[in-house]
């Protein structure tokens, strides 16, 4: 089975890149994370294994900090994991 080790370390120099490329704003970062977390709980369309800030931040960055798009990505990611569970055993 495939196994990946994911580091939770974030290089401080990455913040500027995230602002430019991911539409991330340190002033509104927490609000976007909370909005995504609330979508997960309220809609019930996905049940991620983790909902900590670092994990949700990955999905927000992939979708230019638009919580609705990040939520859709989480749903598709979870669906992929279910359909391909043999990769995660």
Q: Who wins on pLDDT, 45 or 88? A: 45
Domain ranges for the chain, please list them: 14-87
Q: CA 43, CA 29: separation in Å to the nearest integer?
A: 21
Contacts of 30 (CB under 8 A, 6+ apart): 53
Give per-residue pLDDT as tens, 8-50: 677 778 888 888 888 889 899 999 999 999 999 999 999 998 9
Q: CATH classification of 14-87 is 1.10.8.20, yes or no?
A: yes
Please, are residues 73 and 64 in contact by the beta-carbon 8 Å criterion? no
Q: CA 19, CA 24: separation in Å to the nearest integer?
A: 4
Verdict on whether the full-model pTM lies above 0.85: no
């Amino acid at each position: 089975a495939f196994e990946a080790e994911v580091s939770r370390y974030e290089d401080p120099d990455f913040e500027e890149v995230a602002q430019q490329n991911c539409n991330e704003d340190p002033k509104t970062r927490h609000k976007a994370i909370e909005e995504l977390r609330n979508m997960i709980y309220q809609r019930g369309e996905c049940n991620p294994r983790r909902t900590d800030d670092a994990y949700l931040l990955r999905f927000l960055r992939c979708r230019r900090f638009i919580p609705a798009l990040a939520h859709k990505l989480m749903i598709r990611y979870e669906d992929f994991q279910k359909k391909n569970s043999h990769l995660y055993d």
